[in-house]
Structure 1
Amino acid sequence: MIAAPRYQTAACTLLIVLFASPALAQSPEESVGPWGVSSSASAFRNHTEWFPKVASAGVTSVRLFPGWRSFQPELGQWNWKQGDQLVESAQQHDLQLTAILMGTPPGSKFLHAFPVDNLPAWSQFVEGTVAHYGDQVRYWEVWNEGNGGFNDAHHTTVDYAKLAATTYDAAKQGNANAQVGLTVASFDPDYLQQTITAMRDAGAADKFDFLCIHPYEIAGGLRSKNGEIPFLWMNQTLRNMLQEVAPEKADAPIWISEVGDKLNAGGRTPTTDIDAANALVKIYTMAIAQGIDRTQWFEAQDPYSEESGFGLLNRNGEGRPSFAALKTLASQLGEKPNYLGWLALGEQAAGYGFVFAGPQANLMVAWSPVGTQHSLTFPTMVVVADPITGKLHRYEAGETVTLTNAPQLITSLSPTLVAQAIANAEKPFPWGGDYRDAKTVRFAAGQTDETTGIFPLHRDAYPTVTFADGSSGLLVQGDIGHPLGLFVHPTFASLQTRDYYVRVKVRRVSPGNVGMNLLYEYADTQGKGPYKNSGRWFGVAKNASGWQTGVWHVKDACFAKMWGNDITIRPEQSVPFVIGEIEISTVPFE
């Protein structure tokens, strides 16, 4: 038996001392709450080691299942050994399995190509597998990330629509209670929209039960100021899309069936084990608050034969800080959390607060934006707990609580605060503003930036320059490796908006070539990548002084923030220059 790491011990102390809540338990045949994990295929071999560990942390669902060739090494022949072992182990630990229906028939030259040329064999596989497991496995995803790397033949959304509709019919034939989900890599609502539209055109718009997203990139933006904004609007963006193309499915459950944060010592944003744990707390909290039914962290334990760094457990089975954080959060919010509402905290109401009715007491998960701290006072005594270490601190009424970017659990909230959160529950999230009626949004850089609907990523990587005339902007390196990415607020325009005008104001800081391209997010049907070059170069004349303006017009955009940003200003063969202002409009500039 491996000794419990200090993070596990600390979390257990927190559970006992702070709230003393009961252990979680759930029959895998029933609907479960949001606490899930997803696993790589190679982790299948030692799932009996990590199943009981994640179950002890409050996990109630696991995304893991063998592929087609494991069940049918030859067409017409069945081998249930691996699947049966997995299902039996999951039942022993009260874990509900989410199964991925994926694979190609024996003899295919591809491993990850939609079997659209062999749908009868695929249907037989799906119906037989779903029937064999009956209500032991109720949730089935159609493929894994067919809009990304798991699409060897580069099939389109029309192909995925055919595969999904065929899968739905076969699964329901195998078990009428089966639930069938569509799934995408990253956050790709347009791919889902195109798929469902193709299904609708074929008379099959209702042939899915839930949607799955894998928003790694948007989650990665949480270490950039305002990164919470696109994350908090994913559910509403998908709801709006469903209302547009499949209104009968507008209330379909939405899952995050993969998300994670890989430990990384290098790069622009190094990730420590504490960073990953903090990200986990924010991701689960905000997913629940916006109405996402289930979140499955990738992954449970670092596998031996694939890249490491994602796991709640390391390769030795020892819990990382993220394991302790998940255990704390699952216990204190309860098996099926009761979200009450949000609070905008601190100076300029910029801090994030999400209030829940926990099993034992009301509590708030709270943090401040990246790079800021907020001083809070409460009208009554509160207890603040670190979800990772279990450290507790009692603050008397009126005593200052310092809120940082590391999330904290705050309990003993006053009835007034709870009532305020409940009153906010049905209101749009306030952070970043509301631009539903706006035609134009703007970002202006300065000592204090003006962010009216446009937000730069990693703003702290771009120094602010102030000129002699008092105007200012952010300094951009002139090489292609230092682009400036920005996203628009999710309430601006809609997923269906294609026409945008982009205007940028730039200024020299030295002699030499100053030039750039605009890359923008567009609607892609094959998963080749969400960004496209506008095809129009903007350069500044060599003798130009003062601010210079460039304008682009794009006609096939789709601002979904799939990889975290909607546009990128990319310098090429340029000396450094300053960007003072960027505007995006749905109408021509005057």
Structure 2
Amino acid sequence: MPLPRVIVLALLFGTVGGVAMAEPPAPIALSPFGIGSCYTNNRSARDNARWLPQMAAIGLAVHRTPHTDWGAVEPESGTWAWGPLDEQMKYLDEHKFTYGAILAGSPKWNTKDKPGTLPVNNLPGWSRYATELAKHVKGRVRHFEVWNEPPNFTGKDQTPADYAKIVVAAHDAIKAVDPTALVGLAAKSAHVNYLEQVINAGAKDHFDYVVLHPYEVLNGVADNTGSESVYMHVVPTVRKMLAARNPAKVNVPIVFTELGSDAKRGGDHQAHALVKAYAMGIAQGVACVQWFEGRDGDSGPMGLLDNKGKPRPAYTAMGQMIKHLGQHPSYLGWVLLNDRHYGFVFQGAAGTVLATWASGGTPAVVDFGREVAIANPVTGNVVAATSYELTVAPVLVLGVPEPLVAQAKANAGKPFPWDGDYTDAQSVSITFGEKTIEKGLHTRSGSAVAEAVVAYGGSARAGNVPGGSVFIIDPNFLSYTPTPIEITAVVRRNPANDNAGFKLVYESATGFKTAGGWYTVPDNKQWHTVHWRIDDSQFVNYWGFNFNLESDGDKYNKYFLQSVTVTKLAK
């Protein structure tokens, strides 16, 4: 979010993931490496002093925001308390951080609104807050993020139109103070549908950049389910939506002002997620990724530092990424090592750098054709080798062989594949068995888990595999564009003939919806085919998947699934 010089960075490559973009403006140098903080560690300069110097020590120089909550700067109506904010900005300046501001909250004195709701009933007060804040930070802050991940932290019955009202009010107030200031339109997760609704409800042309927090999408990558393509399509999907709903804003910067991974999954797991998040974030054109967070606070173990200030492996990984890629890496393109394993090539601090790891968690030996230096971002160790076994742990190859650089550049504008290119396919499918066959359709469990649970002679997969009934369509096949489709599933009750069934829940323009009603699997004597026609799908992966077979808990998931197919229908 708020990054005083974010104007474009790597949006800047003409096409990303196969999505054509308008000619972008000239890039302005800005590091994509950013950091953020929870409330507890970000209320004051004293809070920042517990962790911010350690961030500066590894090269981080972009901070999401100091504490600019409405109630903090206007504790009583008409009374402004700038002292703590001034002290905090001074501290950030001294440590050479750029930073923005977030407009959020409703002060206790604002009795017209309940706490935790958008202040639509006091737009004059909200506008005054935006005006006074913009005046006070003018010359130091240019980016103003409006609210934190709506529709989270809004009233139960508040709508995209309500958020649009506060965006427009903030935009107009801030621009009146500083026409060069930039206003950010925000949404939770990767909720592109919500952004579209807000734009349609009145926010059109009243923003200068887009803010997302795609935690759920990154989780699929971190868990090694092979869903890198979903993460790589966050920016292209936003651009598709903007091209359709607000063409004048199609090339605005997109910033992940929060993105992180829970350290409870393991320190190395978190570090691996960080490297992948930044490598693919820069590759798809994210202007800045502001990792959440610097130090553990009130949001669980998410920090680069734990709650005692001890560095986690992710802290080292962040430093190594900055060291080798530099503050201003240039993305050159992607490669598939051994025709399968993803690699992203950059012009780094001292030469070309390849960030790579084993796709889907399956180790593989890669021959680079000559000796290269291979850096481990988790440890900082560098080894020389001609070949290397890739695993789920990403590595940085320094001094990339020219043939790989040439391949990367040739691929830069092509659709990013997921076990094949399904851009022009009429249908995608997944078939379960002793070997699961994924043709553009995947599950959150990953194919390895799906293959481990089979039935009826190895021709099916149990319905109770975690994540096994949650489906992701290759974004090259269908993403954002509303298209009539038919989903077909072939199912059967388990050998015990337990009562089983589910409903199909899918992404639509207005949120998740149920197609038809409850389906009860008739029996276990034969395979049964069930069809759903859907005319209002809008797949954007805002929770990291497109549709699922929902059995309302474990009571009715005692079925077996042979295959699922998604087919495009004529409009």
TM-score, scaled to structure 1: 0.86
By how many angstroms is 1:308 displaced?
2.6
Determine the structure 1 residue equivalent to 2:541: 561
Q: Distance in 2 between matches of 1:206 and 1:51?
A: 35
Q: Tell me the amino acid that sits aligned with residue 335 of structure 2.
A: L
Aligned equivalent of 2:373, options 383, 397, 402: 383
Alignment of 1:452-467 (within 5 A): 452-459=439-446, 460-462=448-450, 463-465=452-454, 467=456
8 Å Cα contact 1:301/1:313 also seen in 2: yes
Q: Which moved more, 1:61-70 or 1:321-330?
A: 61-70
Determine the structure 1 residue equivalent to 2:63: 62
Stretches (4+) displaced over 4 A: none
Q: Tell me the amino acid that sits aligned with residue 233 of structure 2.
A: W
Determine the structure 1 residue equivalent to 2:138: 134
Determine the structure 2 residue equivalent to 1:273: 267
By how many angstroms is 1:466 displaced?
5.0
By how many angstroms is 1:567 displaced?
0.9
Aligned equivalent of 1:91, options 93, 96, 99: 93
Q: SS at the partner of 1:472?
A: coil
Matched, 1:341 2:342: no
Determine the structure 1 residue equivalent to 2:318: 326
Deviation sequence 1:449-476 (CA, Å, 0-9, x none): 22122111113444332534xx612112
Alignment of 1:170-249 (within 5 A): 170-199=173-202, 205-222=204-221, 223-249=223-249
Rate the CA distance shift 1:570–1:153 in 2: closer, same or farther, 3 A.
closer
Matched, 1:547 2:522: no
By how many angstroms is 1:535 displaced?
4.3
How many residue pairs get matched? 532
Q: Distance in 1 between matches of 2:322 and 2:557?
A: 51
8 Å Cα contact 1:50/1:301 also seen in 2: yes
Aligned equivalent of 2:84, options 82, 85, 90: 82
Matched, 1:42 2:40: yes
Determine the structure 1 residue equivalent to 2:565: 583
Q: Distance in 1 between matches of 2:363 and 2:96?
A: 41
Identity across aligned pairs (percent)?
33
Q: Tell me the amino acid that sits aligned with residue 318 of structure 2.
A: L
By how many angstroms is 1:352 displaced?
0.9
Q: Tell me the amino acid that sits aligned with residue 221 of structure 1.
A: G
Q: Distance in 1 between matches of 2:337 and 2:287?
A: 26
Q: Tell me the amino acid that sits aligned with residue 53 of structure 2.
A: P
Alignment of 1:274-423 (within 5 A): 274-303=268-297, 306-346=298-338, 349-396=339-386, 400-423=387-410
Q: Distance in 1 between matches of 2:467 and 2:331?
A: 40
Aligned equivalent of 1:502, options 487, 493, 496: 487
Rate the CA distance shift 1:482–1:412 in 2: closer, same or farther, 3 A.
closer
By how many angstroms is 1:350 displaced?
1.4
By how many angstroms is 1:180 displaced?
0.6
Q: Tell me the amino acid that sits aligned with residue 34 of structure 2.
A: G
Q: Distance in 2 between matches of 1:50 and 1:449?
A: 46
By how many angstroms is 1:576 displaced?
2.5
Aligned equivalent of 1:532, options 508, 513, 521: 513
Q: Distance in 2 between matches of 1:553 and 1:278?
A: 39
8 Å Cα contact 1:229/1:432 also seen in 2: no
By how many angstroms is 1:207 displaced?
1.3
Q: Distance in 2 between matches of 1:98 and 1:241?
A: 25
Deviation sequence 1:77-128 (CA, Å, 0-9, x none): 1110121112111111111112110111423352221111111111111011
Determine the structure 1 residue equivalent to 2:430: 443
CA RMSD of aligned residues (A): 2.0
Q: Distance in 2 between matches of 1:273 and 1:547?
A: 44
By how many angstroms is 1:483 displaced?
6.4
8 Å Cα contact 1:206/1:246 also seen in 2: yes
Q: SS at the partner of 1:117?
A: helix
Aligned equivalent of 2:420, options 433, 441, 444: 433
Q: Distance in 2 between matches of 1:231 and 1:287?
A: 8
Matched, 1:570 2:555: no
Determine the structure 2 residue equivalent to 1:519: 505
Rate the CA distance shift 1:410–1:140 in 2: closer, same or farther, 3 A.
same
Which residues of structure 1 form unaligned runs of 5+?
1-29, 265-270, 525-529
Q: SS at the partner of 2:384?
A: strand
By how many angstroms is 1:588 displaced?
8.0
Which residues of structure 2 form unaligned runs of 5+?
1-27
Q: Distance in 2 between matches of 1:439 and 1:556?
A: 18
By how many angstroms is 1:571 displaced?
2.9
By how many angstroms is 1:432 displaced?
3.5
Determine the structure 1 residue equivalent to 2:8: none
By how many angstroms is 1:360 displaced?
1.0
8 Å Cα contact 1:380/1:413 also seen in 2: no
Q: Distance in 1 between matches of 2:322 and 2:374?
A: 17
By how many angstroms is 1:179 displaced?
0.8
Q: Which moved more, 1:492-501 or 1:365-374?
A: 492-501
By how many angstroms is 1:262 displaced?
1.2
By how many angstroms is 1:67 displaced?
0.5
Q: Which moved more, 1:175-184 or 1:427-436?
A: 427-436
Q: Which moved more, 1:282-291 or 1:165-174?
A: 165-174
Determine the structure 2 residue equivalent to 1:20: none
By how many angstroms is 1:137 displaced?
1.0
Q: Which moved more, 1:494-503 or 1:355-364?
A: 494-503
8 Å Cα contact 2:502/2:520 also seen in 1: yes
Determine the structure 2 residue equivalent to 1:14: none
8 Å Cα contact 1:35/1:296 also seen in 2: yes
8 Å Cα contact 1:504/1:579 also seen in 2: yes
8 Å Cα contact 2:415/2:476 also seen in 1: no
Q: SS at the partner of 2:54?
A: helix
